[in-house]
Structure 1
Amino acid sequence: MAQPTLAPYAGGKGIDLRRLQRRVVTALSIGQIVGGIGTGATLSLGALLIVQVSGSTEWSGMAATAGTLGAALFAIPLARLARARGRRFSLSTGAVVATLGGLLVIAAAPLVNFPLLLAGLTLMGAAAALNLQARFAATDLAADANRGRDLSLVVWSTTFGVVLGPNLFEPGEALGAWAGLPPLTGGFAIGVLAQLVGLGVYLTSLRPDPLLLASADAPPAPTGGAEPVGQPSRGLSTLCTNPVARRSTLTIALSHAVMVALMGMTPVHMTGHGSTLTIIGVTISLHLAGMYALAPLFGWLTDRWGGRVVALLGQGLLATALIVGIFAADSMAGITASLIFLGVGWSASTVAGSTLLTQSVPARNRPQVQGLSDALMNVAGAAGGALAGPILALIAFQGLSAALLTLVLAAVITQLRTNKGANRVR
């Protein structure tokens, strides 16, 4: 279906949708860049700060767990805010919560307060929730033929921030020392500043709101015994009755669990092998580049080959990462290669799965289903991060990689299953 040029809005005022969509994608991309700087600057520092405050490497996985659990907790509330008040209000709220979380982390370090540190990292998960919602916001006004492309462009823009962020470890420490902050907290200060910049972008640029405009232009909901659109159970009922949405959500969740578990333990594994913060930062940068840099390619392939094919491609890449992790865990080159494959596989799976999910659900119900999908994705990531620490301590990095292969196999089986009506969306 072609995208109309003009749409009525705000009392009959005509809006050029193509021009508005370009502006929305640009604003979301800028927000992703600055948000990515904050995420990248704090991603690995969280695990190291957990070890410093708790005094045990077995708790190191709780950094990734807290962040992904926070993203899961905020996904549905932010989606409901988006449905009620629009993307602008929802994304801005997420940025405010993430900023408060960063401040709590900075306060927890000198107090050596483990619960406060976990609370701050959990609130910072709102940044991940808003970043995930931003990719869906790019599809609100997108033409059908370009939905994968527009979604992937916003994902891709995160590359700049997340690649730069981990390399701010040492500058962040210098900034923290200048400001009198405790060790390992300077990167979190950079994250706070980045979220404030993103907040300004969302508040000023998402006018008119793309989701409110798309909802106003959507056909009326059918009458009958269906639940009201605003009910939270709408997302769950859709996943129960829509095989494409269910398959897409499961693939996204399993892929995210694999990525969080292996990536979250890599800094701890590398530190145990004597790697410096600089080397860890470069490795994480390459991983994050893999997650985002090739997103436009996977968006283009999804629009042309179909989401199922690209999702299976992503699982093949994740399996490659884990196999390299099994056989080359003691090699710096091997760990780097594993993390790159891990990021690229996550990118293919997430772009394809998110596009399939959006295409399979009517516009009026998308925010609820998207929010539930993001929540399940991050619950899976939180579980993966929580289990990764004890598994790493018990059977080392090689054993963790082997265990995660079972999740990849489950995702492949999910995608290969055929369901009645599933062929409506590729």
Structure 2
Amino acid sequence: MQTALSKEKIAGRGESLSIYIESPEKQHKLYRRTMAIVIASQVFGGAGLAAGITVGALLAQDMLGTDSYAGVPAALFTLGSAAAALIVGRLSQRLGRRVGLAAGFLTGGLGAAGVVLAAVLNHVALLFVSLLVYGAGTATNLQARYAGTDIAPPTKRAKAISAAMMFTTFGAVAGPNFVNITGSVATSIGAPALSGPFMLATVAYLLAGLVLLIFLRPDPLIVAKAIAEAQQLKDSQDSTKPLHALEAGINKRGIIVGASVMVLTQIVMIAIMTMTPVHMKHHGHGLGEVGLVIGIHVAAMYLPSLLTGYLVDKYGRMPMSYASGVTLLLAGLLAAFAPGDSMVLLILALALLGLGWNFGLISGTAAIVDATSPQIRAKTQGTVDVLIALAGASGGALSGMVVAQSNYSTLSLAGGVLSLLLIPVVLWSRKKPQDGLPKGSK
């Protein structure tokens, strides 16, 4: 059992993988260290993420001179995140989380710098290309949530996901509330005010990448793969534990359900969120008020994560998916019927929108982790995140067109109704309950 595994070395550490295979205590210590490093990177990553969703639509509106394409920035950086999700997932599967995640964040930082340059030069083509590259940071910010689950016990996977997400809050909430400050910095050096948040994103994404590149050693995915390989070898020598073909079908079902939950929540959240700043601007709200609403929305996306993780582990992945659909429906209805000049109702609607997304993302992510082994996990996760990003791109692109042809209320109402599709997806997953799944996946 030790052969090649015991001789393989953890990159950059000189430690044998066998000490993790043989010691649950070492695994636990590595889990805690991994979580600390991922959390540190997520604080910076959250700040980088906030720029695009806060002022991306407004920047495009200014540069293009029309509302019809205000949803294009969200579409572009989510489309860019689709390509990046695939690359980061494949890179992580091949070389480990450290290399994959660091490359994604560093690329996102370069994209943010390109947006700043495009704003200064008033170059629309450069803006579009840079937003695509900036999307790599968005994809990586999401994929970092998987790193803590690689060696987490099955009953604590949702908690590991939620911890990484919650600490994204610190940067993600701070970012929108620095809109005025970063705007002042930008204008002081002769750049457009709306490029300021992207200056912050440049620094934040680069720092997130460097934290992971330098400190995420030993790599949790490489260790998890070694542990899984050792367990498979042990099981293959135990005639009382035959492998059943049915298990592959169960895993596929879990992947389909988890992906569907996350895709639907992403479409609804991106569509409504993208056009909220434009809707507010039309009703006389300033940048500071836009930053406040989006900041609270982002806080609701990430801050409840620890509680959500606990609920997902305790009550199951599917019940929390139901909760996601109901919460998003309430958000859509409130956004649709709230007066445009009511800050209180807009804040409540966007907070519910973020909370519903949080429920869906954590429950869906946990379902994906349950359904995969370390040998294929990062690759599968990257593929699923491509679908999530494409869903977000579609929601972002269509949102501007819907509002231009109709209004914000129609968009919000449609998003709320769309969230109800989560219910039949969950019912399908429970149609033929199977034994052998982790407790929380039922």
Deviates more, 1:15-24 or 1:264-273: 15-24
| Residue identity in the other structure for 1:377 | I
Q: Which residue of 2 aligns with 1:19?
A: 29
Q: Tell me which residue corresponds to 1:233.
A: none
Corresponding position of 1:71: 81
Q: CA deviation at 1:93?
A: 0.6
Task: Pick from 313, 324, 343 the counterpart of residue 332 of structure 1.
Answer: 343
Distance change >3 Å, CA 275–CA 239, structure 1 → 2: farther
Cα distance per residue 1:100-129 (max 9 Å; x no partner): 111211111132221211111111111111
The amino acid of 1:163's aligned partner reads: V
Pick aligned residue for 1:354 from 344, 349, 365: 365
Please point out which of 144, 155, 162 is paired with 1:152: 162
Q: CA deviation at 1:23?
A: 1.0
Moved more, 8-17 or 346-355: 8-17
Aligned pairs for 1:123-272 (under 5 A) are: 123-219=133-229, 242-272=252-282
Cα deviation 1:255-274 (Å, max 9, x = unaligned): 00100000000000000000
Q: Which one of the candidate residues 40, 46, 58 is aligned to 1:36?
A: 46
CA contact (8 A) 1:95 1:126 kept: yes
Q: Which residue of 1 aligns with 2:385?
A: 374
Contact 2:184 / 2:193 at 8 angstroms: preserved in 1?
no
Instruction: Give the direction of change, closer, same or farther, for the CA distance of 1:221–1:125 in structure 2 (3 Å limit).
Output: farther
**1:240 deviation in Å?**
10
Question: 1:31-66, CA deviations, whole angstroms, 9 ceiling, x for partnerless residues?
Answer: 111111122234221111101111111110011111
State the shift of 1:421 in Å.
Answer: 5.3
Aligned residue among 403, 410, 417 for 2:414 = 403
Query: Secondary structure of the equivalent of 2:19?
Result: strand
Q: Which deviates more from structure 2 when the two are superposed, residues 380-389 or residues 416-425?
A: 416-425
Cα distance change on mapping 1:361 and 1:12 into 2, 3 Å = closer
C-alpha displacement at 1:422, in angstroms? Answer: 5.3
**Which residues of 2 match residues 82-161 of structure 1 at below 5 A?**
82-161=92-171
Greater mean alpha carbon deviation, residues 284-293 or residues 97-106:
97-106
Q: What runs of 5+ residues in structure 2 fail to find an aligned partner? A: 1-6, 10-14, 21-25, 234-247
Match of 2:63 among 23, 37, 53: 53
- How far did 1:183 drift? 2.8
Structure 2 counterpart SS, 1:59: coil
Number of residue-to-residue matches in the alignment: 407
One-letter code aligned to 1:350:
L
Partner SS, residue 184 of structure 1: helix
Letter in 1 for 2:36: T
Q: Say whether the 8 Å CA contact 1:329–1:398 is kept in structure 2.
A: no
Where structure 1 has 5 or more consecutive residues not aligned to the other structure, the ranges are 1-6, 224-237
Give the residue type in structure 2 aligned to 1:146: K
1:275 deviation in Å?
A: 0.3
Q: Which residue of 2 aligns with 1:321?
A: 331
Q: Which residue of 2 aligns with 1:234?
A: none
CA contact (8 A) 2:328 2:357 kept: yes
Partner amino acid for 1:94?
G
Which has the higher mean CA deviation after the structures are superposed, 338-347 or 17-26? 17-26
The AA in structure 1 aligned to 2:252 is N
Code of the aligned partner of 2:359: A
- CA separation of 1:367/1:274 partners in 2, compared to 1, >3 Å: closer, same or farther? same
Whether the 8 Å CA contact 2:92–2:379 is kept in 1: the answer is: no
d(CA) in 2 for partners of 1:414 and 1:220?
A: 35
* Structure 2 contact 112–198 (Cα < 8 Å) conserved: yes
Query: Residue 298 of structure 2 aligns to a residue in which SS?
Result: helix
Contact 1:320–1:341 at 8 Å: present in 2 too?
A: yes
| CA deviations over 1:216-239 (Å, ceiling 9, x no partner) | 11137989xxxxxxxxxxxxxx79
Separation in structure 2 between the aligned mates of residue 88 and residue 342 of structure 1, nearest angstrom:
32
8 A Cα contact 1:102 1:121, kept in partner: yes
- Contact map agreement 2:52 2:74 (CA 8 A) in 1: no
Report which of the two structures shows the higher radius of gyration computed on alpha carbons: 2
Please, which moves more after superposition, 153-162 or 328-337?
328-337
Matches within 5 A, 1:385-424: 385-417=396-428, 418-420=430-432, 424=437
1:326 positional shift: 1.9
2:108 touches 2:136 (CA, 8 Å); kept in 1?
Answer: yes
In structure 2, the CA distance between the partners of 1:398 and 1:143, relative to structure 1 (3 Å rule), is same
In 2, distance between residues paired with 1:207 and 1:50? 40
